[in-house]
Amino acid sequence: MGLGLGSASAQAATYFADTPHPVSLPALMSMPMQGTDFKVGRVLARTSAYTKVAISYRSNGLKITGIMNVPKGKGPFPVIVLGHGYIDPDVYVTGQGFRREQDALARAGYVALHVDYRNHAGSDDDPRNAVRLRLGYTEDVINAARAVQNSNLPYLDTERIGYLGRSMGGGVGYNALVTAPGTFKAAVLYAPVSADAVDNFNKWQRSDASLRKEIFARYGPPETNPDWWAGISAINFFDRISDPILIVHGTADDSCPIGWTRRAMQELRRESVDAELIEINGGGHYLYGPWAQSFDRTLAFLDEHVRESGSTSS
């Protein structure tokens, strides 16, 4: 359950009143985001519609790897940064977790930029990431957009950049939207985790005795230190969001309950955020059956808010 700490605007005012805890969203908001050194590596695959290449960039100094599907043609093409869901970093391989979305986006004329995150595939290791409740992933997707903007690749449209995240990557999206408003023209979140960090901790991390002990030693449990836990929960900062959001969630999702998203939508509407929820009746976490139909809605949303938002082309 959430902490029930009141509206986002009231919470944000509280956290900005004093120096924020170094592990918190307010601290992330005040951190300079530096996405640099965007590099395109070897060609991984070619299709009739796009070319898949390896990429890397620097996220606040750390090397982050990934893959990029580039549509055939001259461009410049709008870019969608992809934030994947949880996959054990020990078994994760570059570009894993978003294959159908990568393909569909590129065929629709978008560059699909899939971020591996730190500690994944060929990315640099960040030993603090777990005890920072994975806030480093938020840095990595924001800095993916920054690195694109700082690149000199003529086929990348540096003005039209959107975000698509699923499950854990949906939570990363919530964090990015409150941390760096305006970075993305719009965001689509598929079956996101809760915007309240307590829900996620209780479901996936509280049962890990070693991690629970370390986190409680550093920050205290949610029951005794609710302010810290509120400070890493995006739901308390939704008043900062300036970008339109589309959320797609199945009602039968047994991994990320639909109730989490319904609560997030209540807060988004309270803060007058341009947000839409598509509930897929009977849909599970990966929406295997109704995915194609839901992605048609996703593409229509991205076309409206990213593709048609203006172009750097002449």
Q: What is the pLDDT of residues 173-232, one digit of tens each?
A: 999 999 999 999 999 999 999 999 999 999 998 999 998 999 999 999 999 999 999 999
d(CA 269, CA 281): 22
Mean pLDDT, the chain, integer: 93
For the chain, domain boundaries: 8-309
Burial (CB count within 10 angstroms: exposed 0-12, middle 13-18, buried 19+), residue 141: buried
- Span 39-79, pLDDT tens digits: 999 999 999 999 999 999 999 999 999 999 999 999 999 99
Which pLDDT belongs to residue 1? 33
| 143: pLDDT strictly greater than 70 | yes
Confidence category of residue 7, pLDDT binned at 50, 70, 90: low
Query: By 3-state DSSP, what share of the chain in percent is helix, strand and coil, each rounded to 5?
Result: 35, 25, 40
What percent of the chain is predicted at pLDDT more than 70? 93
Which pLDDT belongs to residue 292? 83
Which pLDDT belongs to residue 313? 41
| Token pair in block for residue 306 | 């990213």
Locate tokens 């230190």: which residue? 225
CATH 3.40.50.1820 fits 8-309, yes or no: yes
Produce one character per residue of 191-230: b if its CB has 16 or more CB atoms within 10 Å, e if not.
bbbbbbbbbbbeeeebeeeeeeeebeeebeebeeebebbb
Give the C-alpha distances (Å, rounded to integers) separating 136 from 31, 60, 68, 128: 12, 10, 21, 9
d(CA 118, CA 208): 21
DSSP tag of 203: I
Cis peptide before 290 (omega within 30 of 0): no
Q: Which residues lie closer than 8 Å to 94 by C-beta, 6 or more apart?
A: 54, 65, 66, 67, 116, 120, 121, 122
Which pLDDT belongs to residue 312? 46
Quote the pTM value.
0.93
